[in-house]
Amino acid sequence: MAKQISILIVDDEESVRDSLYNWFIDDGYTVECAEDAKKALFLLEEKNYDIILTDVKMPGMDGLEMHKRIRTMNMQPIVIIMTAFASVDTAVQALKDGAYDYITKPFDPDDLSHLIRNAAAQVALKNENETLKKKITTLIDVEDLIGESDAIKNVLSEVESVAQSNSSVIITGESGTGKELIARAIHANSPRKYFPLINVHCGALTESLLESELFGHEKGAFTGATFNRKGRFEMADGGSIFLDEIATITPKMQIELLRVLESKTFVRVGGNKEIASDFRVICATNRDLKSMVKSGLFREDLFYRLNVVNITIPPLRERVDDIPLLATHFIKKYCTSMSRDIIRIESTTMDHLMKFEFPGNVRELENMIERAIVIGNGKEIKLKDLPIIKDISQNSIESLDDLEKKHINQILKKYNWNISRTSRALKVDRVTLYNKIKKYKLEQE
Amino acid sequence: MKQKPIILVTCGHFEQRVIKLISEDITNVFQHPVENKECSLDINKHYNPGRRQYDANGILEYITSLAPEQAIKVIGLYRVDLYIPVLTYIFGQAILNGKTGLVSLYRLRNELYGLERNNDLQIERFRKVIIHELGHMFGLIHCHQTNCVMRSSSYVEDIDQKNRDFCNNCKILLQEKL
């Protein structure tokens, strides 16, 4: 949330102080008043103000003198001089002394609003500039990467420490936990941040397409290759390449990838010239690569080449405390993009959300909020707007393990204990299914 | 419906039709009954001959001193040109979270800006300013939503831009305050 702008009004006339106080309070600013320069300087020793609106003619020290004193203090508020005695000399002197602006009483309401709005915008810019400067030296914020729970804080601290190195990283986590966001955060905080982050969704491409996508191709290399094309490794030169769903690549591609990772050189499809590229590899998967290595589905040497650092993102159900923060963030995001008023979420609905399992993790929560904004009444998100009522009502006191056991058993029966068909239906690999059968001591009747 | 009334103190002549519209607006929005009291306060002592305007702060203090205990809010309706010391003019004035406020029709007339007289538009503006000031009295601050009645208005055109209703956020805030 943006910091509230604080204003100090310095004027010897009570009616002026009161009028300005009421005017600015109505606008939502934090306002304090001082009847003379002495009191104002006393207040300034105790507290920083963003904007100071001061009269010139006051008993004792005048506004211009007070402004000079403020400038010697270790603070830089925006000072606006106001006076009932308009004089060009005073105005010039005030501006020479570094005043932000000069205004003559009485003001037009619009002039006053504009003046303060512009000054407030300048304060906001100054604050933003300071924040951005801090961000350059600390962890760069990545939109949507939100959470206050220990689980996500640990992930972020891992991101911060790994970002500075050049090591390969594997990000693991269930689908929808935000693996791509973590990859972006690593890149954005690394010395490579000024170079591109190239994303490749390995699962979405066939072997030949992935090969051409990663290494590029020469004109005439295959039907349809009508021009030379740079590959993703070449495009990532100086930056990072993010290989999503790395577990889905074929054994042939695994060998090719290993070779590229070791030599940092490759040849375009249909080409004969070796191309060098300096990139950092960040991979992501929702599968258990170790067990894939054990079952021979993933090359061990490639696994160790990639798995220098492993970051595991916890599923949303393990960081329930972050659900309100995430929900509020998504409401703001979608209401803004749909040009709607920012709406609230009913407290009982939030309680239900916090009890929901979210098998689809943060992505599921995000989609749920977007849907609720679209179909809701535009004022408040209610329980009926969320597709969780049915799931909640179906919730029994059974544990997750019990439910999983029951579900696996059901599907196994359906496919007559055909492991391949069951694992395809459950969208897990055979090894995982065998492990689950062993874990839950399931037996064919 | 709540018990404590919001009192409309009318100073000068206002058509019954207009008072009825305003009372309905207030009852609908703030859920308090409305009582209308004609008053013959002498506001001449708040007249500033140098500015040829009336000091709104002075009148507001006067209304506050006379506000009956049983009323939840008291709002004065005027036809004179109001000012506060720092501003050249105001449409209305209220104390944030306070009991009293005042609004004037004077600056809401089209004729003042060289435009054709339009009574309906003037009354519509008046109704918006009254709800705006009562909003402040119930603790709402200015809102940045273009159509919200709590948006700050320096010119009559600004008043015309907004609705006579609160945005969702202000509505929720108001419900909490009521």
**pLDDT, tens digit, for every residue of B46-90?**
999 988 999 998 898 888 888 888 899 999 999 999 998 888 899
**Distance in angstroms (rounded) separating the CA atoms of residues B108 and B79:** 10
Contact A106 B87 (CB under 8 A): yes
Distance CA A147, CA A159 (A): 14
* pLDDT for the residue B119: 92
ipTM above 0.90 for this complex: no
**pLDDT at position A413:** 86
Q: B155: nearest CA in chain A?
A: A110
CB-based contact A263:A298 (threshold 8 Å): no
Judge: B86–A341 Cβ closer than 8 Å, yes or no. Answer: no
Structure tokens given for B6: 């919001």
**In this model, does residue B11 exceed pLDDT 50?**
yes
Contact map slice: B 29-68 vs A, CB within 8 A = 51, 55, 57
CA-based nearest residue in chain B for residue A380: B168
What's the rounded mean pLDDT across residues B160-165?
Answer: 92
Q: Give which of B86, B167, B171 to mutate to test A binding, by max A Cβ within 10 Å.
A: B86
Q: Which two tokens stand for residue A201?
A: 């969704």
How many angstroms separate the CA of residue B87 from the nearest CA in chain A?
5
Any CB–CB contact under 8 A between B146 and chain A?
no
Does the structure show a pLDDT above 80 at B10? Answer: yes
Predicted confidence at residue A76, as pLDDT, reads 81
pLDDT tens for each residue of B137-159:
999 999 988 899 999 898 999 99
Evaluate if residue A140 carries a pLDDT over 70.
Answer: no
What pLDDT is attached to residue A395? Answer: 52
Two domains, one topology: A6-135 and A150-312: yes
Identify the CATH number of the domain defined by range A6-135. 3.40.50.2300
Determine the average pLDDT of the residues in A401-423: 87
Element containing residue A243 per DSSP (H, E) = strand A240-244
Looking at the partner chain, which of B85, B136, B154 has a beta carbon nearest the beta carbon of A113?
A: B154
pLDDT for B121 equals: 94
Mean pLDDT over the full length of chain B: 90
Alpha-helical segments (H) within A236-280: 251-263
When pLDDT is cut at 50, 70 and 90, the band that residue A60 belongs to is confident
Domain ranges within chain A, ordered by starting residue: 6-135, 150-312, 320-394, 400-439
Nearest CA in chain A to B154: A110
Q: Do B85 and A109 touch (CB under 8 A)?
A: no
**In chain A, what residues touch B141 (CB-CB under 8 Å)?**
25-28
Nearest residue of B to residue A108, measured between CA atoms: B88
Report the gap between the CA of A320 and the closest CA in chain B (Å).
27
What is the CATH code of the structural domain delimited by B6-177? 3.40.390.10
Q: Which residues contact B172 (CB under 8 A, 6 or more apart)?
A: A344, A379, A380
How near does any CA of chain A get to the CA of B17, in Å?
Answer: 31
pLDDT at A47: 85
The contact set of A with B (CB < 8 A) is 13, 15-16, 18-20, 22-23, 25-28, 82, 105-110, 112-113, 341-344, 378-380
- For the question of residue B24 being annotated catalytic, the response is no
Taking residues A88-113, what's their average pLDDT?
A: 81
C-beta atoms of B85 and A110 within 8 A? no
In chain B, which residues have their Cβ closer than 8 Å to the Cβ of A343?
168
DSSP codes of every residue in A399-431:
-HHHHHHHHHHHHHHHTTT-HHHHHHHHTS-HH
Distance CA A62, CA A94 (A): 12
Q: Which two tokens stand for residue A236?
A: 């990532």
CB–CB contacts below 8 A, A to B: 71
| Of A318, A316, A338, nearest in space to A327 by CA | A316
Nearest CA in chain A to B138: A26
> Under an 8 A CB cutoff, do A107 and B142 touch?
no
Structure tokens at A431: 């090894």
Mean pLDDT of chain A: 85
Q: Does B167 touch chain A if contact means CB atoms closer than 8 Å?
A: yes
Determine which one of B15, B111, B133, B157 is catalytic.
Answer: B133
A89 pLDDT band, cuts 50/70/90, is confident
pLDDT score of B2 more than 50: yes
Beta strands (DSSP E) in B2-124 are 6-10, 34-38, 47-48, 53-55, 73-78, 82-84, 87-90, 92-94, 100-104
pLDDT of residue A136: 55
Is the domain A150-312 a CATH 3.40.50.620 member? no
Domain boundaries, chain B: 6-177
Quick one: fold of A320-394?
Helicase, Ruva Protein; domain 3 (1.10.8)
Output the pLDDT for position B103.
Answer: 95
Of A15, A107, A343, the CB nearest to B57: A15
CATH class of A400-439: mainly alpha
Chain A residue with Cα closest to B151: A27
Q: What share of chain B in percent tops pLDDT 90?
A: 61
CB contact under 8 A, B87 and A341: no
What percentage of chain B has pLDDT greater than the value 70?
Answer: 99
Facing A110 at nearest CB: one of B95, B96, B155: B155
Spell out which residues of chain B touch residue A380, defining contact as CB-CB under 8 Å.
172
